[in-house]
Amino acid sequence: MQIGLDGIIVAETCLSEVDGEHGQLIIRGLPIEELAGKASFEAVAARLWQGLSAKEESVEIVTTQLAQVRKEVFELLAPIVPLAAKLPFIEGLRLGLANLSDQTSIPHHYLVTAAIPVFLAALVRAKAELPLIIPDPSLGQAADLLRMMRGARAQREEEEALDAYLVTVAEHGMNASTFTARVIASTGAGVISAVIGAISALKGPLHGGAPGPVLDMLDDIGTSERIDSWLATHLAEGQRLMGFGHRIYRVRDPRADVLKSVVANLRLSSPLGQQQLEFASQVEHAALAALARHKPDRPLHTNVEFYTAMVLDALGLSRELFTPIFAMGRVVGWTAHIFEQLQTGRLIRPQSHYIGPRLSSAKGH
Ligand code: ACO
């Protein structure tokens, strides 16, 4: 028995290969380095969905459909936003998605994918008591999210950076949230329920909830002189360093390097931003050395969340938005896996090994 299902293969997939020994991530035949910053998020969605959903998917169709559905979702916001805006973003997003109906004629993978940026932008505006901004169908998901949040178009390099981020996190094998989505999908509960379940799994700090705490850690360390002592104290207390370690990767997570170059480009024109990046890099090096001393038998390397935090912070997004924006990228991977799961037609139903009392020892209780 494997508690945590380490190393257990639960599905065949044509969507991605995560090679933990060599630090490679292949998305439907292409390394992540060939996609991030080179293909749009919509192109990657089309790549993932192609041949799996009941619809024909091409970059043009996906881009047009998502833009159209963003407008339709905007019409649904009025009753949801006042309540959802009182909650933390991830809970507000969960509430928004829970209000979508299985009965809608909009294809559900488009609905959930388009809904996330529309809900998030609306929640950002509502929390700040600003009027909501209508989606712009001429834009892609990344550019429109920033525009709907800010009320004006972002700089081109900001839009490109967010787009590259969404591509980088779009799909990653049988991680906890994807597995959750496949389990729910296997019961026939539908795409919307499966995606709500996936978001609930993503929210945890051991999965997609780490990037906000990465920045908290950098803030708490504060200065270069404090790095080594801070790390030593926290590791001695048995705390985990956020943004390090991974169940599959035994070497550096390839997505960390992709995002490091994205943030480096974004920070080019800002001396303060460059200083912050330099500090983060110092912490990263010291943390890797400290982890190697702390757990010499367990290779612990930088994971995607460390530089996710840097990219999203450079875009001026609040820490509480980091996990919901991760969901905005990963939703296309989740939905592609949901289609794949449905094609198997098989309920996921493992077993547990009973270790509780047997009838004889239960007597007298
Ligand atoms: N800091 C300190 N120690 C760590 C870390 C870390 N970041 N990661 C693992 N370890 C330690 C564990 O405490 C454990 O020690 P033990 O054997 O004394 O209990 C040992 O290394 C082995 O760790 P596992 O628990 O087997 O690692 P697992 O594969 O379950 O964990 C995980 C992977 C959850 C990502 C872990 O490394 C972690 O908690 N990292 C910090 C949180 C984080 O960055 N999460 C984002 C992950 S990426 C993503 O999901 C998108």
Give φ, ψ of 321 to 5 degrees.
-85, -10
Q: What is the pLDDT of residue 361?
A: 59
| Residue 101: partners with Cβ closer than 8 Å, 6 or more residues away | 192
Cα of 330 vs centre of ligand 1, distance in Å, is 21
- Residue 184 CA from chain centroid, whole number: 18
255 lines ligand 1 (CB under 6 A): no
Contact at 8 Å (CB) between 104 and 44? no
Q: Active site residue: 246, 284, 301, 337, which one?
A: 246
Nearest CA to ligand 1 atom 4: 240
Give φ, ψ of 89 to 5 degrees.
-50, -45
Q: What is the pLDDT of residue 363?
A: 54
Cα of 65 vs centre of ligand 1, distance in Å, is 39
Percent of the chain with pLDDT over 70: 99
Cα of 206 vs centre of ligand 1, distance in Å, is 7
Could you please report the per-residue DSSP string of 273-327?
A: HHHHHHHHHHHHHHHHHHHHHH-TTS---B-HHHHHHHHHHHTT--GGGHHHHHH
Which spans in the chain are helix H? 32-35, 41-49, 59-74, 81-84, 89-98, 108-127, 141-150, 156-168, 176-186, 191-202, 211-221, 227-236, 254-266, 271-294, 304-314, 322-344, 359-362
Contact at 8 Å (CB) between 33 and 261? no
Tokens read off for 69: 């559905």
Tokens read off for 266: 């974004």
Cα of 166 vs centre of ligand 1, distance in Å, is 24
Listed as ranges, residues in the chain with pLDDT below 50 are: none
Q: Active-site residue 172, yes or no? A: no
Tell me how crowded residue 58 is: count the other CB atoms within 10 A of its CB. Answer: 13
208 lines ligand 1 (CB under 6 A): yes
Q: Active-site residue 301, yes or no? A: no
Residue 244 Cα: closest atom of ligand 1: 7
Residue 214's SS3 state is helix
Residue 175 Cα: closest atom of ligand 1: 50
DSSP letter assigned to residue 200: H
What is the Cα–Cα distance from 150 to 171, expressed in whole angstroms? 28
Give φ, ψ of 4 to 5 degrees.
90, 0
303 lines ligand 1 (CB under 6 A): yes
Ligand 1 mutation pick, 32, 166, 230, 300, max ligand atoms within 8 A of CB: 300
Nearest CA to ligand 1 atom 9: 245
Q: For residue range 243-258, list pLDDT tens digits in order.
A: 999 999 999 899 999 9
Q: What is the pLDDT of residue 289?
A: 97
Give φ, ψ of 244 to 5 degrees.
-130, 150
Ligand 1 mutation pick, 179, 251, 258, 295, max ligand atoms within 8 A of CB: 295
Q: What is the pLDDT of residue 357?
A: 96
- Which of 64, 62, 339, 77 lies closest to 194, judged by CA? 339
What is the Cα–Cα distance from 18 to 222, expressed in whole angstroms? 34
What is the Cα–Cα distance from 133 to 145, expressed in whole angstroms? 10
Pairing mode of beta strands 16-19, 24-27: antiparallel
Q: What is the pLDDT of residue 46?
A: 97
262 lines ligand 1 (CB under 6 A): no
Cα of 263 vs centre of ligand 1, distance in Å, is 25
Q: What is the pLDDT of residue 106?
A: 96
Cα of 140 vs centre of ligand 1, distance in Å, is 35
Q: For residue range 299-345, list pLDDT tens digits in order.
A: 999 999 999 999 999 999 999 999 999 999 999 999 999 999 999 99
DSSP letter assigned to residue 244: B
293 lines ligand 1 (CB under 6 A): no
259 lines ligand 1 (CB under 6 A): no
Tell me how crowded residue 98 is: count the other CB atoms within 10 A of its CB. Answer: 12
The one-letter code for the residue type at 12 is E
The one-letter code for the residue type at 356 is G
300 lines ligand 1 (CB under 6 A): yes
What is the Cα–Cα distance from 350 to 14, expressed in whole angstroms? 23
Q: What is the pLDDT of residue 362?
A: 56
What is the Cα–Cα distance from 27 to 25, expressed in whole angstroms? 7
Evaluate the CA torsion angle 284, 324, 270, 273 in order and state its sign.
negative
Residue 127's SS3 state is helix
What is the Cα–Cα distance from 68 to 176, expressed in whole angstroms? 31
